[in-house]
Amino acid sequence: MSIATVSRVLNNQPRVAQATRERVLHVADELGYQPHSFAQSLARRQSNLISVVVPAMTSYFFLEVLRGIQDSLADSGYDIVVHLAKARKDAEVQFERSLRRGRSAGVVVISPTVLSAIGHRIERARTAIILVDCKHDDFDSITVDNVRGGFQATRHLVELGCERIALVMADPSSPPAFDRCSGYREALAKFDLPYSDSLVASSTGTDDGFTEEGGYRAMRKILDSGERPDGVFVTSDVQALGVLRAATEFGLSAPGQLKVVGFDDIPLLRHAGITTIRQPMYRLGSLAGGRLLERLADAKLPRLHVVEAPDLVVRGTTSTARAGEVEQFPEAVSVAAMGDH
């Protein structure tokens, strides 16, 4: 039996006798043979790989989104290749690799940091592209309403009686952090509370400052200045851990002397009892994977922009009632479909 015949059988091509096909498949099964996805793609000149371009794997957010993408593609026949852009300068290189020689049927781009670095390149790409946590008018996108989330968090603190509400945010150049700050400021204005630069501190560095150490340093900056907020909105749960550590060093306990609200609702941190704004990270990935499959099946579909609404989850850093979680202020999901123009 020739190698060409075996290849035709394993690639499910015609012109092979049924008895021969069954014999090849039987031997392959006994040997535990699994076809190599990339090799199959080259042979068929049609890729069955999906590329995902992310800025880092150290963030729980990206891990949850990736899990959603993976599960949504589990039965599709597509395999996932992850391209890490650890720094802004790496983003374009990784994006180019995802497109090179048509190796990917489609690409999922996660994070506005990546999008801003490849903006000039993405507009010329002919591959199906889905954006997560960022938006471009010409491509399908799945995002969260970060402004509303910042507003919800601050409103919760106001309704608990807080009057000096601090903000610990990540790098202001990060669109999610900027939008959450915008929601914070909108809530202060709505409830007639003054905005004060001395109550706002940001962190930069690794993961755009969405780190525990970043939250710690930012909170120390506020407290070292002599400010004593009675509430603080933090732009991520990981940062909130650092905020609580800094508060403890100043003898401030939560929720008695300082009420704290984070953002994300990372499963691994729920034991910490942080009141937070839950964004559906896994669902973002699942929606992105599902939409990519639709786009691959029909490239002429109108562009779709889905904006998922966050929810407030009340836990121990703002409430002494610790019998369970209390979800408040559920919001409707916004979906906008745009035709070509």
**319 or 7, which is more confident:** 319
188 and 132 inside one domain: no
- Per the prediction, the chain carries an average pLDDT of 83
Q: What domain range includes position 15?
A: 3-35
Rounded-to-integer distance, Cα 138 and Cα 209, Å: 29
Per-residue pLDDT tens digits for 179-229 = 999 999 999 999 999 999 999 999 887 777 889 999 999 999 999 999 999
Tokens of 90: 């790496």
67 and 111 inside one domain: yes
DSSP 136-201: -TTSEEEEE-HHHHHHHHHHHHHHTT--SEEEEES-TTSHHHHHHHHHHHHHHHHTT----GGGEE
pLDDT for the residue 146: 97
186 and 322 inside one domain: yes
Helices (H) and strands (E) in the chain, counts: 11, 14
What percent of the chain has pLDDT above 70? 79
pLDDT for the residue 340: 41
Judge whether 338 lies within some domain.
no
Mean pLDDT across 48-69: 85
pTM of model > 0.95: no
169 and 272 inside one domain: yes
102 and 218 inside one domain: no
Query: How many separate domains does the chain show?
Result: 3
158 and 178 inside one domain: yes
Residue tagged 């479909």 (tokens): 337
Q: Tell me which of 107-116, 260-269, 277-286 is least confident.
A: 107-116
pLDDT for the residue 113: 76
Rounded-to-integer distance, Cα 170 and Cα 138, Å: 28
Judge whether 167 lies within some domain.
yes
Q: How far apart are the first and last CA of the chain?
A: 55
Residue 65 scores a pLDDT above 50: yes
Judge whether 63 lies within some domain.
yes
Strand 79-84 to strand 275-278: parallel, antiparallel, or no bridges (unpaired)? Answer: unpaired
Mean pLDDT across 250-260: 95
Per-residue pLDDT tens digits for 161-172 = 999 999 999 999
